[in-house]
Amino acid sequence: MPALRPEPRPGVLKIKAYVPGKSDAPGAAKVYKLSSNESPLGPSPQAVAAYHAVAEHLEDYPDGAATALREAIGRTYGLDPTRIVCGAGSDDLLNLLARAYLADGDEAIHTTHGFLVYPITTLGAGATPVVAPEKNFTADVDAILACVTERTKIVFLANPNNPTGTFIPFDEVKRLHRGLPPHVLLVIDAAYAEYVRRNDYAAGIELVATSENVVMCRTFSKIYGLAAVRLGWLYGPPHIVDALNRIRGPFNVNAPAIAAGVAAMADSAHVERARAHNDRWLAWLTEEIGRLGLDVTPSVANFILIHFPGDQGKTAAAADAFLSARGLVLRQVGVYGLPNALRMSVGCEEANRLVVQALAEFLGKA
């Protein structure tokens, strides 16, 4: 019997729509938003100036190839600009990859606490998301490889992972790649790569450069402080770049974003200040919150995952309500399978100190 109205493709109605971190705290005199891993230092002043300059010519279409931005990225990382694709945030690029490489009946693997966009984009393409178990809130290469079947077409690996802040060393990433069939695409999502200070970490550039089935996604939303303009980029093999350029929107990156991105990449001093701020306060928050008796998952990114005991009223939900009443907005992560944890972005000094003080009060240790 024919349908009585238009119906979406299979999988779409199985999607649980992505809900961003909340931004408000009703009743609070001042709000400190620590729910979306935004940069407490904001964007480079040079990026802001470049953004405003484009406002004089909003009648003009942007360069559909984002040439200046791809060249700026190429100069910064020593990459061939023809192997770079830019998008409206890395989410845009993840969706393009799913559209290009997943079909009905295919499978795409992500880990237990992986970024929510992976199952969303998989289902949207008509494929089936497959969850690989983690070990200690960290991706497990053997568990991922055990999930691979003849239907597997993509493996999504967030490294570092959001919302846990954990990572796997580059040797493990290479081991994962060696274990995958050549037709399976390994997508390394390195949105937080700029924050990592570990010698055994690599974002994936070398692996992409020497492989036919690996891409690396990056973003300007985190350390560059450009979340509002939605800007991301991908480095991949020429044949994958060609496929994505055939299906992406002809003007999928707007002109103010391109200008801001070029300027942001040029201001290396601002990036280093953001990195130094994160180094200081990530360590401080981990230590101080740990002293309160709460478990904090070791993080290499710009956020921490705080675990609550869950008994005697000391739940994550109760802590969230207590903090929100004081204008301290963290991220509940129950939808990630972490009902008794909160994710906290590293904020400005005032916000960081206020959270520790408020948690001490919540736990009765002030």
15 pLDDT above the threshold of 90 = no
Structural domain contains residue 1? no
pTM across the whole model:
0.95
Question: Mean pLDDT over all residues of the chain?
Answer: 96
- 204 with 251, same domain? yes
- pLDDT single digits (tens) 37-84: 999 999 999 999 999 999 999 999 999 999 999 999 999 999 999 999
- pLDDT single digits (tens) 119-172: 999 999 999 999 999 999 999 999 999 999 999 999 999 999 999 999 999 999
- 33 with 87, same domain? no
**Structural domain that includes position 321:** 25-42+269-362
CATH number for the domain including 172?
Answer: 3.40.640.10
Last residue of a domain, one of 210, 242, 266: 266
Q: How far apart are CA 101 and CA 217, in angstroms?
A: 16
- pLDDT single digits (tens) 183-221: 999 999 999 999 999 999 999 999 999 999 999 999 999
- 226 with 252, same domain? yes
- 302 with 256, same domain? no
- 197 with 113, same domain? yes
CATH number for the domain including 290?
Answer: 3.90.1150.10
- 210 with 346, same domain? no
